[in-house]
Amino acid sequence: MDYSPKKIEPYWQDLWSKEKSFACEKSDKNLPKKYILEMFPYPSGRIHMGHVRNYTIGDVITRYRITKGDNVLHPMGWDAFGMPAENAAMENKIHPKEWTYKNIDSMRVQLKSLGLAIDWDREFATCDHDYIKHQQNIFIDFLKNDLVYRKESEVNWDPVDNTVLANEQVIDGLGWRSGAIVERRKLNQWFLKISDFSDDLLDGLEKLNKWPEKVKLMQKNWIGKSSGAVFNFKVVEEFSKIADKIEVYTTRPDTLFGASFCAIAPDHAIATIISQNSDNALKFIKKCQKIASSEEAIEKVIKEGFDTGIKVQHPFDKDIKLPVYIANFVLSSYGKGAIFGCPAHDQRDLDFARKYNLPVLPVVCPENVNKKDVVIENEAYIGEGKIINSKFLDGLNIKEAKKVAINKLKELRIGKKEINYRLRDWGISRQRYWGCPIPILYREDGKIIPVPIDELPITLPEDIDFSQPGNPLEKHPTWKYTTCKETGLKAVRETDTFDTFIDSSWYFARFCELDDSKPINRDEANYWLPVDQYIGGIEHAILHLLYSRFFTRALKITGHLEIKEPFDGMFTQGMVCHETYSNERGDWIEPKFVRKGDNKQESLHIDTGEKIKIGPSEKMSKSKKNIVDPDDIIKLYGADTARWFVLSDSPPDRDIFWTEAGIESSNKFINKIWRTILDYKEIVEQKDIKNKSEQIQFMKVIYKSIKDITLNLEKMSFNKAIANIYSLIGELSKSDTKEKISSETASKILKHLIIILSPFIPHLAEESWAHVGFEGLVCKQSWPEFDESFTDNESAKIVVQINGKKRGELLLPRETEEKEVVEVANNNNKIKNDLAGKEIKKIIYVKGRILNFVV
RNA sequence: GCGGACAUGGUGGAAUUGGUAGACACAUCAGACUUAAAAUCUGAAGGAGAUUAUCUCCGUCCCGGUUCGAGUCCGGGUGUCCGCACCA
């Protein structure tokens, strides 16, 4: 009987669906719970291999936990708002809503064809009116609890299209559609006070011990807590009309005597004043505004400054006067938007000082270097040392000098110690149509008020025009005009929509119960949350996870939740990569159009016969066309084979390289499993009795495998679990094994084997379970316990080393004492020879492992 | 530019967390079955060398260090990938 995924996979998918096998029970306090969640997908229309990998990993854990007897929640939804829908509207004249829901429908079918153990009863999309309603409700609660405010903030502005651009739409400083030079422009926008939680978000990381260290480190650096000082530079008298002081933040108050200039951000208040009287300053500021607003763009730009002519006094020495520059690398959003530069001990300041011929005075002397020999060439010294050239700070180390300098600033009443954070408040306004409307009214009397709760949801108008650039909500003839019910005054709606990160910051709580009456059902959330295992790409390591952690805290303050941390366990999976192919004209070619030539050396286009150049394996992307469509793979090999491939070989947190050979070999092995099961079924039916002592050996094989696979599953080492299965099947399918195994042993092994396989290849497992004649569904069986009495513990291979080099090995009982092992080793011919004529200085023995002679 | 990660045979990876480097696979080669091919089964295999059933040396990106012992720990470097706040 052939293995036919085309027939069996849809059959079992239908059955699971009909029987609601994975619809999870409501909270049952008597049952241990597990909430397994993968990051929900953006409904682009087609699933890609990254999805297959992500959801397969989650599915294996889900199915495994079910067999372990847990009450498992494993839901699915859609992160449905976002720019691609608007782009599709502009390019293909299809309404974003229609486009999105169509995509959801086709992706749901695709996901179901993977055989995922998902509770589809809890499905929702973030663009559903129901979800919008609750999200707007939450926002109003945040507003009432003082977690929201409005301020001016910069955006990328395309002066040709008259529209706001996302960072990804700015390519080398130019708008992606118009090609115009992008400018920075200030808009009034809504912000969430995430920075109030900086310390709490930082401290919370320590307790997240089921998170990857690298993710926690990235978040820690992102929050960027630093200790330093704020203080004022007094502006020299003759410029006092412009300003009397400049406030700066520094983490190096110890280097203050090495200061040779001050620099302010291009949008600093003083820069604005200066630009009113200086065309050159204005020109320079305008030039700075042409740099895109992303931090990356600002940091990469060549460092330049504009000398304002203003001078400030050194706080510790009135006679030292420093020039003030407007500099393109000073960020107004960090610290005070102004710094002092100490070129000797900061590379960026040094580069700047060399460019504008500013003095470079070293004030830190490295250990073991004479004060006179400290010379700064083209490299700033940022290491430890003793302070020099700094009057009252001389001779102190950096740490002491910081303290003394801060105390002095305090004494002079011009500064103080300050803790600063890199994390800034979360700007949530987007000038786009396809997002959740921000429920705010601007009343004609100037008041800004939330929309009354009973008027929610504020939904998007459907009759919109995408032929004009800009936000269609702004341009809609009627949508934004309304009246305030309470006062009867005229009002205008907020036409900005929420950042889509808001949508994904609480969806995991919504899955606990689709409660009509409120966003989050507290009882259900209390049972299910936190998510026990969250799984997603490393690209979300900072923003999405940090926003969700903040949101959960904010939801606690507003009474929606009782916890602070949403995700107890976090796992970041690697990307799916594929070789890139291009023809001689440099066009990218999809892998399915490439075949090997007759000599196997070259690759050819399947239709045209053109030679194809093979490039390096990179992350699958539409732009390079190095995509393999999961649908094609499932049609050709079946979902079980696809699942098997994405789990095997590479560890799940590393990148995986998709290859034709790899998927084919997976398929071959799946077939081999099927044949082995059929063979064992026959053995069971023959009812033969075989040699008894050999049966114990076979049971040892299966129990050893159960142990290895279980431990590897617990560690999420799916590639190793799969290697264990390869070994097991290899052992079981040997003709010798099949001859000697008894009917009874074969039956026991078969039962364990199929259950073990079920999380990985659920369709094949279900089919074999039924085919062999076991009762019920395999997905509802209990995971086999491994019996330690069958695991071989008695003997051990002990490696004998001389000076750490392997010279031989001995097979001895595991518990053998050192004395005895040395004796056996000394009687071993080879080791005796190797030791001959050498003086043994020391013997190191690690029980059951290694014996090392040091000679 | 800043922050983070990774680097082991021809290829993907394993190594009990400082104790036999290369498990398990892919590709390759040889054999069996076959008229033949495919499929399947069996076996070989890091590199170099020798006195070739065996043994020796070299070998985990590069340079240096700690240790009886380093793929694993420490310092320095190189390369590749990810994130940088309006992509999701």
The DSSP secondary structure of A340-356, one letter per residue, reads EE-GGG-HHHHHHHHHT
Burial (0-12, 13-18, 19+ Cβ within 10 Å), A829: exposed
Report CA-CA distances (Å) from A687 to A104, A682, A774. 52, 9, 17
Confidence check: pLDDT of A675 > 70: yes
Confidence check: pLDDT of A359 > 70: yes
Instruction: Give the nucleotide at minimum CA-to-C1' distance from A735.
Output: B41
For residue A599, the model assigns a pLDDT of 57
Helices vs. strands in chain A: H and E counts, helices first:
27, 35
DSSP secondary structure string, A120-181?
GGG--BTTSHHHHHHHHHHHHHHHHTT-EEEEEEEEEEETTTTEEE-GGGEETTEETTT-PB
Helix, strand or coil, per DSSP, at residue A795:
strand
Contacts of residue A666, defined as CB under 8 A and 6 or more positions apart, other chains included, come to A637, A641, A644, A645, A648
* CA-to-C1' span, A804 to B47 (A): 22
* CA-to-C1' span, A792 to B22 (A): 24
CA distance A349 to A376: 12
* CA-to-C1' span, A725 to B23 (A): 13
Report CA-CA distances (Å) from A221 to A542, A568, A571, A741. 10, 21, 19, 59
Q: For residue A27, what pLDDT band results from cuts at 50, 70 and 90?
A: low
Instruction: Give the nucleotide at minimum CA-to-C1' distance from A44.
Output: B88
* CA-to-C1' span, A699 to B72 (A): 35
Confidence check: pLDDT of A130 > 60: yes
Strands A440-443 and A490-493: antiparallel
Confidence check: pLDDT of A838 > 90: no
Instruction: Give the nucleotide at minimum CA-to-C1' distance from A672.
Output: B40
Which residue lies nearest B16, CA-to-C1' measured?
A: A849
For residue A691, the model assigns a pLDDT of 77
Confidence check: pLDDT of A155 > 90: yes
Write down the ipTM of this complex. 0.94
* CA-to-C1' span, A601 to B63 (A): 38
* pLDDT tens string A725-738: 999 999 999 888 88
Instruction: Give the nucleotide at minimum CA-to-C1' distance from A676.
Output: B40
Instruction: Give the nucleotide at minimum CA-to-C1' distance from A660.
Output: B26
CA distance A745 to A553: 55
* CA-to-C1' span, A229 to B37 (A): 80
Confidence check: pLDDT of A791 > 70: no
Q: For residue A752, what pLDDT band results from cuts at 50, 70 and 90?
A: very high
* CA-to-C1' span, A383 to B75 (A): 15
Instruction: Give the nucleotide at minimum CA-to-C1' distance from A661.
Output: B26
Strands A795-802 and A850-854: parallel
Q: For residue A794, what pLDDT band results from cuts at 50, 70 and 90?
A: low
For residue A565, the model assigns a pLDDT of 96
> Is A573 in contact with A535 (CB distance < 8 Å)?
yes
Contacts of residue A797, defined as CB under 8 A and 6 or more positions apart, other chains included, come to A809, A810, A811
CA distance A748 to A841: 54
* pLDDT tens string A570-604: 999 998 988 888 888 888 888 888 877 665 567 78
Q: Closest Cα partner for A759 from A56, A25, A38?
A: A56
* CA-to-C1' span, A805 to B48 (A): 19
Confidence check: pLDDT of A319 > 80: yes
Q: For residue A30, what pLDDT band results from cuts at 50, 70 and 90?
A: confident
Confidence check: pLDDT of A303 > 80: yes
Q: Closest Cα partner for A718 from A754, A781, A760?
A: A760
CA distance A316 to A256: 9
Long-range residue pairs from A440-443, CB within 8 A, at least 24 positions apart, any chain: A440/A190, A440/A493, A440/A494, A441/A482, A441/A484, A441/A491, A441/A492, A441/A493, A441/A494, A442/A491, A442/A492, A442/A493, A442/A494, A443/A484, A443/A487, A443/A489, A443/A490, A443/A491
Confidence check: pLDDT of A193 > 80: yes
Residue A240: enclosing H or E segment and its boundaries?
none
Strands A33-38 and A533-537: parallel
Instruction: Give the nucleotide at minimum CA-to-C1' distance from A830.
Output: B55
Average pLDDT over residues A160-176: 90
Question: pTM score, two decimals?
Answer: 0.94
* CA-to-C1' span, A59 to B5 (A): 26
- Give the number of other CB atoms < 10 A from CB of residue A373: 8
Percent of chain A whose pLDDT exceeds 90: 68
Confidence check: pLDDT of A398 > 80: yes
* CA-to-C1' span, A422 to B3 (A): 12
Q: Closest Cα partner for A329 from A317, A321, A337?
A: A337
Mean residue pLDDT across chain A: 91
DSSP secondary structure string, A433-447?
SSSPBP-EEEETTS-
DSSP state of A461: P
In total, chain A counts a number of residues equal to 855
A31/A782: higher pLDDT? A782
CA distance A366 to A383: 7
Looking at A596-605, A635-644, A708-717, A812-821, which range is the least confident one?
Answer: A596-605
CA distance A55 to A46: 14
For residue A592, the model assigns a pLDDT of 85
Which residue lies nearest B67, CA-to-C1' measured?
A: A804
Report CA-CA distances (Å) from A814 to A11, A497, A577, A794, A802. 51, 68, 45, 6, 21
Q: For residue A792, what pLDDT band results from cuts at 50, 70 and 90?
A: low
* CA-to-C1' span, A376 to B1 (A): 21
For residue A851, the model assigns a pLDDT of 86
- Here the tokens at position A717 are 């080492």
Strands A317-327 and A261-264: parallel
CA distance A248 to A340: 7
* CA-to-C1' span, A291 to B76 (A): 36
* CA-to-C1' span, A382 to B78 (A): 23
Q: Closest Cα partner for A303 from A322, A283, A284, A277?
A: A284
> Is A570 in contact with A208 (CB distance < 8 Å)?
yes
Q: Closest Cα partner for A142 from A78, A222, A196?
A: A196
Instruction: Give the nucleotide at minimum CA-to-C1' distance from A292.
Output: B86
DSSP secondary structure string, A24-87?
PPS--TTS-EEEEEEPPPP--SS--HHHHHHHHHHHHHHHHHHHTT-EEE----B---SHHHHH
Looking at A90-99, A370-379, A444-453, A729-738, which range is the least confident one?
Answer: A370-379
> Is A43 in contact with A107 (CB distance < 8 Å)?
yes
Nucleotides of B under 7 A from a protein CB: 1-6, 11-16, 19-21, 23-27, 39-42, 55-57, 68-70, 81-88
Distance of alpha carbon A639 from the chain centroid: 26
Which residue lies nearest B39, CA-to-C1' measured?
A: A668
A372/A224: higher pLDDT? A224
Report CA-CA distances (Å) from A696 to A688, A703, A750. 16, 10, 15
Could you check whether the bond before residue A457 is cis, i.e. omega within 30 degrees of 0? yes
For residue A640, the model assigns a pLDDT of 97
Q: Closest Cα partner for A603 from A622, A589, A618, A620?
A: A589
Q: For residue A712, what pLDDT band results from cuts at 50, 70 and 90?
A: very high
For residue A814, the model assigns a pLDDT of 74
Q: For residue A134, what pLDDT band results from cuts at 50, 70 and 90?
A: very high
* Residue labelled with tokens 């469509």: A629
Looking at A297-311, A752-766, A771-785, which range is the least confident one?
Answer: A297-311
- Identify the sign of the CA torsion A741, A745, A748, A752: negative
Q: What is the C-alpha end-to-end distance of chain A, expressed in Å?
A: 64
> Is A620 in contact with A49 (CB distance < 8 Å)?
yes
Average pLDDT over residues A58-79: 96
CA distance A406 to A411: 9
Strands A603-605 and A594-596: antiparallel
Instruction: Give the nucleotide at minimum CA-to-C1' distance from A215.
Output: B4
* CA-to-C1' span, A661 to B19 (A): 36
Percent of chain A whose pLDDT exceeds 70: 99
Instruction: Give the nucleotide at minimum CA-to-C1' distance from A221.
Output: B3
The partner residues of A524 in beta bridges, in order of sequence, read: none
CA distance A99 to A106: 11
For residue A601, the model assigns a pLDDT of 60
Instruction: Give the nucleotide at minimum CA-to-C1' distance from A801.
Output: B69
Q: What are phi and psi of A725, to 5 degrees?
A: -70, -40
